Each structure stands twice: as structure tokens, then as C-alpha cells.
Structure 1
Amino acid sequence: MAAFGRWKEQRLSRSDCSRKGALDERAAGAVRLLNRAAPFCTTSSCAGRIVLAEGRAGLPGAVPKQRCRWLLVAHEPCGQRDVMAALQTATGDVVFKFEPFVLHVMCRELQDAQLLHSVAIESGFKNSGITIGKGGKIMMAVRSAQCLEVPLSHMGKLMVSEEYIEFLVQVANRKMEENAQRIDRFYKHLEAALEAAGSESNSPSTDAGQARAVYVHRRKRRTARVQDVLPSPEHHNNELEPGDDPEGSLDIFAGITLCH
């Protein structure tokens, strides 16, 4: 597809406009692996981070990113002292967050996105999904439901104990370690899938072709299970695993959203 080739060339020629200005080291391997493959082009990524975000005092609910000040951003496990030191400068409302690995990939064809989706799900990123834009762009998002978001202070006043902050940091650090393990699995599974896809042109009966067949079969099986459960919403909620998001988990439901 000529259009995809142009989109990819334009995307990869742009400068990095992220806050950090460079790839996160832990995500770099998967990003480069995908961009070397003809059917894929990454558009954004984050390896996962622990964040203290401060918004204007009195803002209800979560702190909007466009109206916040970053007091702390850590892409590796951090300590309670790091958080307490960052809080000393706070004058507004502060939220403590853990945000897991996220990767957005533009795909040449739907079957390419399906293959990548299968790799993501098998690697533990169960909130991943595919969207098809109005102009025909096919996007695949690799995501998980490991998020953590807790308000710590209001108008500069700390609302929780230091002991609780230490507990939160321990929880976030465990999530960071689990996140790193999933990224490693994703890279290994992706490398194997791309190698199999590379041999498909030489043999129609290859692992890549079988992988897509398994993907379709697995999705039909999941759809059948959901249909069996949907008549009883109460029973469905009882069957959810910890951390599952029944509204955001695209691997269970349609998996393809048409953007308007």
C-alpha cells in the first residue's frame, strides 16, 4: 500500500517531540524492531513510569495533563524519599500515578494489526486493541490495566501519612517490575512472530499464517464465552480477574473501533 509507505516515511522523519525527547531505553528494542519491519510504524510509546503531577488547587477529579506540573517522573523504581522531596515544592493538588507500558503502532493491513494484537495479548497486555481511522489508517495500541492513581495533597497540604506514601511506592515499584517483565515477553514474542512472518512469502503454510488462524480461532472462542456470560451481568462481573477493565478491554469484545 503506497499510502502506508508515505505515512511511515513522514512519521519516521519527524523529530521526537516528547517531553523526554528520546525513546525510553526499555521500550527502544520493541520500537526499533517494529520500525524495521515493513508493515509497521510506531507513532508513540512509553516504557512505563511513576509520576507526581500537580494541578491547580481546587480542580475537581483527576489532574488534566495539559494543566499540570510534573514534580517527579521516574522510569525505574523509586523510593519514598524521592516522593517526599518532590512533594515539598507542591502548592496545589498532587496525584501519585503509575502508568504502564503503552505503544501505538500504525499497521499496513488489518491482518498485520491482528498479528500484533495477538502478540500483545499473549504477552500480558490485555487492554490492547485495534482502531480504524476515517482515512483508512489502522492503529494498534498495546496497553495493560496496571494503572495506579491516588491523590496525595490538596492545596499544598498532604492528606495522607508518610507511612501510606511508603506503601504506595512499594505497590508502584512492584507494578514497575511486572511491567518490565511483560515488555521483555512482548519483545521475545514479537521477534518470533516477525521471523515467522518473514518466511511466509516463501511458504504459504508457515507459522505466521498459522498464528493468524489461531488468532481468529481464539477470538471466536472468546466471543462465544462472552455471549454465554452476557445474559447475566452480575455473573459476568464475578468472573472478572483482578485488574481487568470490563469497559476498556478490547480483546474481549469487538477489538475494532471505527473512528468518526
Structure 2
Amino acid sequence: MEAEFEALVIDVAAAPSAVPQPKAVKPVHERSAESTRTKQATTSNPTAAMLQKRLDKTFAEDKKRILDGLETARGCDNSPKGFVDPVCLPLMYLLNAHPDYVTTSSCSGRIALFHSLTSEGGSDGGVKRGNLKARGWVFVSHELLTDRQKSEIVESMHNPPITLDDKCEQAAAAASAQPSEAQEYQAHVGESTTFSPPSYGELSLKCEPFVMHVQCRTMESAKTLLSAAVSDAGFRNSGVVPPGARIMVGIRHAGLSLDVPLILGDGVAICSQDENTSLMSRQYLFELLTLSNQKLTENFRRIGILERAVAKRIGTEMTAVEAPSS
């Protein structure tokens, strides 16, 4: 009897239970988090699609306007001089040939002398330029300086300094004359190194490296361009502006810049008129200009690397494109 009872117990234990097992219930906080994620997933895509639609519309309008401007005489650019530097043209055409990019402004790099006034120097606030007191860009070159140009700059810095009254008289006399278009262009881009250093304000020697701003259609295309600039070509100070009305990539590298004051606010200059120190100051300024050339040379080399990196990243073959005829 006991043996039969034990066998019955074993059979019951081995048989599958006919009673349905309760399902596992997730905790309330897990169910709430999952619901939130689901809700976000269903609402984020339409929002992203609407944003991208607006970006596409703005991008298409901007690209058409910019490319139409580039077809005009000398091209059209947002840089101060208003047209594209020849060194930037290969990269510019490479990017503009791609449906996701359009260049908005650029500078291939330059060596310049810049005159300004600051609030500490007696002006009525901030840096002043473009008026009789502050002369702004006294000299600008987007190419390497020749030895003759360097010598002219050195000699010009040793000329008698021009006073503010003298500058006003010269400006009044120049206003009465009608300069030719060639003279206006020469004065604008700073091709002439013939000038007299001011006795007021600040005059600085600047070497400013390549910079380019590119409008992108999507964030993915912006990231691709940024990878080419930073990882491949070493433009470490590049960045992307998050999506707003536009997606912009700025390509730059501050490591090749130079900014040396030649005249301080009180008129003290590194180039002395004294015969005992004149030779030393001339040599010093000449070497500064030589150093600027070296930085600009490295700058041009990196632009070439960037061109090849962009061509590889965006999958566009580099083709020789002639600049718009003037």
C-alpha cells in the first residue's frame, strides 16, 4: 500500500501542472520608462523630418544665390575684399560640386599690417577702423612676400611718423581727387607697401592662416567635412554650429597665426629712428616678415592636404576648374 502511494506521488510531481502560471509583471518604473521611450521614438522622427525639410529649403535657396554670385565677374564671397582667393578655388569648386555643401566665405591666408585704436588709447570705445583716426588694413598680401616687399616695409617703418593732423589733411586732399579703379583696387588689397607709420594708436604685423566657412545640408555631411579638416588635414580649431536655420562648418587652425605689435598706443615703436639701434630694429622686423612667410608656406601646404582629404571623404573626384574670368 505504501509503495503504491509513493508511486502516485511521483507521478503527480512529474506531470506538467495544469494550473496556468502567472506572467512576470515589470515594475511600475520600468513600464513608465519604456512608455516614455516609445513615445519619444514615435514623435522624434516627424520632428527631425520637419527640421530637415526646413534645412533643405534654406540650403537650396542659399546655394543657388551663392553659386549665381560666383558666376559674376571676380566671383562673389563674404570675405572683406568680396572675391575668392585663387588658392581657395580648387577646394571651393570641389565642395560646391557636391549636393550637400556650399562655401560661404574664405581666406587663403594673409600677411598684413593693421592699424587700430582702442579705448585705452583715447578712442570712444573698442577697436576703430575705416575712418580718419584708424586706418585699418594698411597693407595686405595673400601671397608670400618678396625680399623687395620686405625691404620696403622695413624702410617704411623707419620713415618719419605721420601725425593725426597730417593724416586728416592727406585724406581731405585725396577726397578731392578721383582715383582710378586700379588705384582703388590697389589700395583695397594693400599691394603697395609705400606708407608712413602713424604716431598714434597701434600698428600690428599679422599673419592669419586659412579659414573657410561651409554651409552643409545635413549634420552627417557636416561631420564628414569636419573629419577631413581635423583628423586628416590638422585644422584643429575647426567646428560645427548645431542645426538652427543653417548648419555651418568653420575650418581653421590658429597655430599658424602671428600677431606682433610694431607700434604701441603711445607711439612707441620697435623700429627706432636712433642710428645706434636702427640696424637692430631693421633686422628684427625683416626676420619677423621672414617668419610670416614660413607660416604662410606651411599654411598653403595644409590647404593642399585638405583638398585631397575632402575629395577622399566626400567621394568627389578632383578636377581642374578654371576661376571665373574677370
TM class by shorter chain equals: 0.5 to 0.7
1:171 alignment counterpart: 291
Contact 2:101 2:215 in 1 (8 A): yes
Further displaced range: 24-33 or 151-160: 151-160
Aligned in 2, Cα 1:2/1:180: closer, same or farther, shift over 3 Å?
A: same
Post-superposition CA distance 1:23-42 (Å, at most 9, x none): 11111110111111110011
1:106-121 aligned within 5 A: 106-121=215-230
Contact 2:117 2:129 in 1 (8 A): no
What displacement does 1:86 show?
Answer: 4.9
* TM-score, length-scaled by structure 1: 0.67
Q: Tell me if 1:42 matches 2:99.
A: no
Matched residues, number: 196
Distance in structure 2 (CA, Å) of the matches to 1:123 and 1:65? 34
2:62 alignment counterpart: 7
1:71 alignment counterpart: 138
What displacement does 1:170 show?
Answer: 1.7
Max Rg structure: 2
* Aligned-pair Cα RMSD in Å: 2.6
1:202-221 aligned within 5 A: none
Percent identity, please: 32
What displacement does 1:2 show?
Answer: 2.7
1:100 alignment counterpart: 209
Look up the equivalent residue of 2:269 and give its one-letter code: L
Contact 1:72 1:86 in 2 (8 A): no
* TM-score, length-scaled by structure 2: 0.55
Q: Tell me if 1:26 matches 2:87.
A: yes
Among 215, 237, 244, the alignment partner of 1:134 is: 244
Question: Greater share of strand residues, 1 or 2?
Answer: 1
Among 63, 69, 84, the alignment partner of 2:154 is: 84
What displacement does 1:69 show?
Answer: 2.2
Query: What stretches of structure 1 of length at least 5 have no aligned partner?
Result: 198-260
Contact 1:53 1:63 in 2 (8 A): no
Aligned in 2, Cα 1:68/1:112: closer, same or farther, shift over 3 Å?
A: farther
Aligned in 2, Cα 1:5/1:191: closer, same or farther, shift over 3 Å?
A: same
What displacement does 1:3 show?
Answer: 2.7
Question: Greater share of helix residues, 1 or 2?
Answer: 2
Distance in structure 1 (CA, Å) of the matches to 2:129 and 2:89? 24
What displacement does 1:124 show?
Answer: 1.5
Query: What stretches of structure 2 of length at least 5 have no aligned partner?
Result: 1-55, 70-75, 160-195, 272-280, 318-326
Distance in structure 2 (CA, Å) of the matches to 1:111 and 1:143? 20
Look up the equivalent residue of 1:6 and give its one-letter code: E
Contact 2:219 2:243 in 1 (8 A): no
Contact 1:56 1:68 in 2 (8 A): no
Look up the equivalent residue of 2:236 and give its one-letter code: K
What displacement does 1:13 show?
Answer: 3.0
Distance in structure 2 (CA, Å) of the matches to 1:59 and 1:74? 30
Contact 1:104 1:140 in 2 (8 A): yes
- Equivalent residue of 2:315, what SS? helix
Post-superposition CA distance 1:148-181 (Å, at most 9, x none): 1010013555224222212211211110111011
- Equivalent residue of 2:295, what SS? helix
